[in-house]
Amino acid sequence: MTDHISTAQQEFLALIGAASEAEGKSRISGQIIALLVFEGRALSFGELAVALGVSRGSISTNTRTLEARGVLARVQRSGERQDYFELVDVHSATLLREISQRLDRTGTGIEDICARLSHSGGDSGHGACARLRDYAAFHHIVAKAIATASDEIEGKTAHLRPGDSVE
């Protein structure tokens, strides 16, 4: 029976690891999140390294960045010398907010280019500028949509125990 669980766990880790890579993040960082979701409890530094079969150095760097991104928290247990990690309860919403902010940043970056262009170039680049503004607007619209979804999910996950229906 633990067999079934562990194969399911392996499949889950592989799936999320691949998804993590597909969106530009490292495989391990995705799998750390996946393992914490699967286990539903705080895991120690050593447990992560063993369960994922990766070096302690990788655990260190990846947990640090995940911590800085506000996805997981490092917790100390009295009497234990190892660090433990647990998911922030709004970790999914945090990831969405991150994406939303990056889109907004790209959008304003486009607008900045457009502003400099129309300021110094007269109206020769007018058509291009209009298209760039549309393209920037697209980024902002998507950012807004994702931010809204983030709020929705945050409202559902905050202070809710896992297993509650989200439908």
C-alpha closest to that of 42 among 6, 11, 15, 82: 82
Q: Give the residues lining the site for its own copies (CB under 8 A).
A: 1-2, 4-5, 8-9, 11-12, 15-16, 19, 21-24, 37-40, 92, 96, 102, 106, 109-110, 113-114, 116-117, 120-122, 124-125, 127-128, 130-132, 134-135, 137-138, 141-142, 145-146, 148-149, 152-153, 157, 162-164, 166-167
Contact with DNA (CB under 7 A) among 82, 101, 124, 148: 82
- 3-class DSSP state of 150: helix
**CA-CA-CA-CA torsion sign (9, 85, 70, 157):** positive
Per DSSP, what are the bridge partners of residue 86? 73
| CB distance 85 to 75 below 8 Å | yes
For residue 53, state whether it binds DNA (rule: CB under 7 A): yes
Q: Which residues bind DNA (CB under 7 A)?
A: 21, 24-29, 44-46, 53-64, 79, 81-83
